[in-house]
Amino acid sequence: MLTKKQRLINQITGEDVDRIPMVGGWNLGVRNVAELAGLSVDSYLKDPLGGVIKANHRLGVDAIVPPIVPVDIDSIRAGSLLEAGFSEIEPEALKERADEIPDNVNEILKKFDAVQAEQNYRNAWEPLMQRLDGIEFLATAWEAPANFSLYFQYGYEAFLSAVALYPEEVGRIYWEDAIISRERNKVLIKLMQEWDLIPMLFCGHDICVNRGPMVDPDFLKKYYWQHAKLSMEPFLDAGIRFIHHCDGNVMPLVDDMIDAGFSGFQGFQYECGVDPYELCKRRSLKGEVPLILGGLSVSRTLPDGKPDDVIADVEYILNATNGGRGLFLFTSNVTGVEVPVENITAGYEYLINYDPRKYKGAGIIQEWPWLVKHPE
């Protein structure tokens, strides 16, 4: 039987595994996480992080991302971006920022403090890793690629208007951020090697909505992806696979992500047109099978289905990945408080007893089971 770490590394590198690796950490709801952990709510609330870790041990996960740690028993959702908070911001704010960016890279790097960046990672991750008790840590750094999601700083309206009115200036902001991100990523790589983490990074920005890319793909080709690639090249050179988070319909951007060096994808809203069979046809810049983190739909199957529906979804992603090649079972996003605990456990329990070495191949492309059952 493989250790958790060796199982993860084998899956990353394309070697045989004794079972499909599983990832955890994205479950909302004090009551749900307490039940997953086998604790009373009062016991959970005495040590919420300990409860989250125990819940993931009981699920059997091999790795955990920096976890959601619910502490408010009445909370029903995570944070969200409220456009009303940006009502006074105009698109010219982005142009003004771009106009102030120096032309000289060395001048830009004066804004970057490598010592502070290292300390920030240590402060955020070392206390967590010391408590994982055998679960591997999946490094997660949303800030690693050049920061597409300027809407968090300026709001959607100002950001999207600036993309239309001042595309070169927005691209210049991405260029500056890529230069700083690249240096920060070198610090992160050093720490990942020091901590002997699995050679995989989870990152990426929400870049799509349900219908497709948030902005014109041609804009991204001209003004964004080259800077994302610049920021992420140190990971590629270090042999660390990096995974793009995928909300909405990302299919029009998959090839651009691969060209930027990404060799894996996480999430998948099948109802938006995401096709795991098409994803799995792709190969990385180094010819690798894509890494797929997903299989558990938080928008349809987990909240609205039954355990049998969850198992059908797991079998669907197994078939799409040729029996689980490159697959890591994970939720597509954070599970809500409305998700029955038995649905969360169903997918993990199924894979505990699944041996990918015995997979014979289904031979046909299947439709997403939820869509077959609910064609409306």
Give me the tens of pLDDT residue by residue for the chain, a chain 376 residues long.
Answer: 899 999 999 999 999 999 999 999 999 999 999 999 999 999 999 999 999 999 999 999 999 999 999 999 887 765 556 666 787 899 999 999 999 999 999 999 999 999 999 999 999 999 999 999 999 999 999 999 999 999 999 999 999 999 999 999 999 999 999 999 999 999 999 999 999 999 999 999 899 999 999 999 999 999 999 999 999 999 999 999 999 999 899 999 999 999 999 999 998 999 999 999 999 999 999 999 999 999 999 999 999 999 999 999 999 999 999 999 999 999 999 999 999 999 999 999 999 999 888 887 766 888 999 999 988 7
Tokens of 119: 């300390």
* pTM for the model: 0.94
d(CA 50, CA 32): 14
Judged by DSSP in three states, 10 sits in helix
What the block records as the tokens of 170 is: 């927005």
Give yes or no for a contact between 248 and 272, defined as CB atoms under 8 angstroms apart: yes
Amino acid residing at 264:
G
Q: Which two tokens stand for residue 275?
A: 């096709």
Which two tokens mark 278? 């098409």
Task: Report which DSSP code applies to 77.
Answer: S
Spatial separation of the C-alpha atoms in residues 38 and 71, rounded to whole Å: 16
* Antiparallel, parallel or unpaired: β 208-209 and 200-203: unpaired
Q: Domain-by-domain residue ranges, the chain?
A: 100-134+143-339+354-359+368-373
Residue 266 β-bridge partners: 245, 293
Rounded CA separation 124/66 (Å): 9
In this structure, the number of other CB atoms found within 10 A of the CB of residue 281 comes to 11
What region, left, alpha or beta, does residue 141 occupy, with left being phi > 0 and alpha being psi -120 to 50 degrees? beta
| CA atoms of 42 and 34, how far apart (whole Å) | 9
Please report the DSSP string for 152-217 in residue order. Answer: HHH-HHHHHHHHHH-HHHHHHHHHHHHHHHHHHHHHHHHHHHHTT--SEEEE----EETTEESS-H
